[in-house]
Copies of this chain bind each other. A is one copy, B any other.
Amino acid sequence: MSNKPSIPKGTRDFLPEVSLRREFIFNTIRDVFKKYAYAPIETPSMEKLSVLTGKYGEEGDRLIFKILNSGDFLNKATELEDSRKLSFQIAEKALRYDLTVPFARFVVMHQNEISLPFKRYQIQPVWRADRPQKGRYREFTQCDADVVGSDSLIYEAEYICIYDEALSNLGIKDFTILVNNRKILAGFADVIGQADKFTDMCVAIDKLDKIGEEGVRKELGERGIPGDAADKLFKLISFSGSNQEKLDFLEKELVSSEEGSLGVQEMREVLDTYSYFDSYNGTVEFNLLLARGLTYYTGTIYEVKANGVKVGSIGGGGRYANLTGVFGRPGLSGVGISFGADRIYLVMEELGLFEDMPSISAKALIINFGEESRGASLQLLNEMRKAQIAVEYYPEKAKMKKQFSYADKKGIAYTIMIGSEELESGKYQIKNMSSGDQESLSAEEIVKLLTD
């Protein structure tokens, strides 16, 4: 093959610099998950197709990558004229589409091995056959924390802390954690007399950012919600004030809706619990416009935005009352959040937060002067590595210019030269590559300098 090779549309190679930054993002989020007592699990990349089908809506089903059965897959196939029907006959497995459905499947399968409430985090890739565009890929890594088996609102408050602490630890200074409660939205539907149009209402509100108030009003109309109900709705969701003022306002406005009142009460408890916790850089905003579209959420919902950077939401999540029902284990409530690592990367890049990241390379390069100083060079290499210093010995006696350019390109901080003079004196030349300063040090002194 002499054609230049390429990779599938919507997928990415990550060069060392980017991989290290991604590693930093994952590690930072992981450390915070652990501090809040979440434990890791891993699930297979492939799930049985039957586990995934029907869980993500019709559109979602189309975006699932199916894996062709091995061997003579045609031997049971009859639907040779219909791609969709045939696909179910020749593909029994599919790639994970998100981490939530596999988590629900995991909880049901392992219910006798785990104790409830079960708190897990999971940082693994997912795959979607979506049309690729800026910031949207066919393979991307999700970072999720969820707890299943408790209705306690403590967790809801703690997820605000987790977002706040993780994003602050990443160096992001200005972001907003939006919270709302789907029961409050149900209350809106109740008091505007459109209880049966709850989902339509949520889907329309969810688009406010994209299509504006006029657009939402139009969509509400198309979905059968009359103009006077829309007026009432906008009067409610447009209320502005502090989080406390919103609670007081809604307590009165939703008094006639049982579900709405419960939502207000829940939100009050979440915010009260959160008030006991130190906050870092994030602002918590009780946002009446937050709806999270068509999703299966039933209580508190979250969305996180970096302010002043146009990349959309960098996190989201919420409470789902019946997480595992679809796998035959009803009655388990779950709540969880997700971090959007790719968008967080874009935010950090735009804010210049990667500029102070540690070098991707060795701290020092021992220049190769050939046979004469080979022994001394290998000894020094050994001493430095024993002291846990990341160091390289240039692999062959190349031109000085080439060796220095290697150090330069890899961002190596120091070069060490052991020529014949240095061999005699036992003092090696060490050069700081950014300042250009050079000094003569013994092996021991070099180890000390680079360990401090």
Contacts and interface: CB of A to CB of B under 8 A. Distances in A.
Interface string A1-41: 11111111001111110011011000000000011110111
A390 B36 contact: yes
Contact of A120 (B2, B16, B278, B375): B16
B13 A40 contact: no
B395 A155 contact: yes
Contact of A13 (B63, B106, B129): B106
A378 B158 CA distance: 11
Nearest to A87: B68
Contacts of A114: 15
Contacts of A4: 108-109, 327-328
A385 B35 contact: yes
A66 interface: yes
A239 interface: no
For this chain, the copies found in one complex come to 2
A48 interface: yes
A266 interface: no
Interface stretch (A69-77, A305-313, A349-357): A69-77
Given A4-B108, A45-B125, A409-B115, A62 B68 contact: no
Nearest to A119: B392
B67 A41 contact: no
B1 A50 contact: yes
A150 interface: yes
A386 interface: yes
A375 B276 contact: yes
B81 A74 contact: yes
A393 B41 contact: no
Nearest to A393: B154
Given A382-B277, A392-B37, A42 B70 contact: no
A296 interface: no
A227 to B, nearest CB: 40
Interface string A381-403: 11001101111110110000000
B152 A395 contact: yes
A385 B37 CA distance: 11
Interface stretch (A89-97, A191-199, A200-208, A247-255): A89-97
A3 B43 contact: no
Given A75-B83, A83-B75, A396-B150, A41 B68 contact: no
Interface residues of A, number: 107
A224 interface: no
B71 A68 contact: no
Interface in A326-359: 326-328
A71 B44 contact: no
A40 B19 contact: yes
Contacts of A106: 13
Contact of A327 (B5, B15, B129, B139): B5
A423 interface: no
A42 B67 contact: no
A80 interface: yes
Contacts of A67: 65-68, 95
27 contacts: A1-B50, A2-B328, A4-B328, A6-B109, A7-B47, A8-B47, A8-B92, A8-B93, A11-B44, A11-B45, A12-B42, A13-B106, A13-B109, A15-B114, A16-B40, A19-B42, A20-B40, A22-B42, A23-B40, A35-B388, A36-B385, A39-B360, A65-B70, A68-B87, A68-B91, A71-B83, A154-B395
Interface of A: 1-8, 11-16, 19-20, 22-23, 34-37, 39-48, 50-51, 62-63, 65-68, 70-75, 80-83, 86-87, 90-93, 95, 105-106, 108-110, 113-115, 117, 120, 125, 127, 129, 138-139, 150-152, 154-155, 161, 273, 276-278, 326-328, 360-362, 375, 378-379, 381-382, 385-386, 388-393, 395-396, 405-406, 409-410
Cβ-closest 10 pairs across A and B: A152-B395, A16-B39, A11-B44, A276-B378, A37-B362, A19-B40, A14-B42, A70-B129, A66-B68, A2-B328
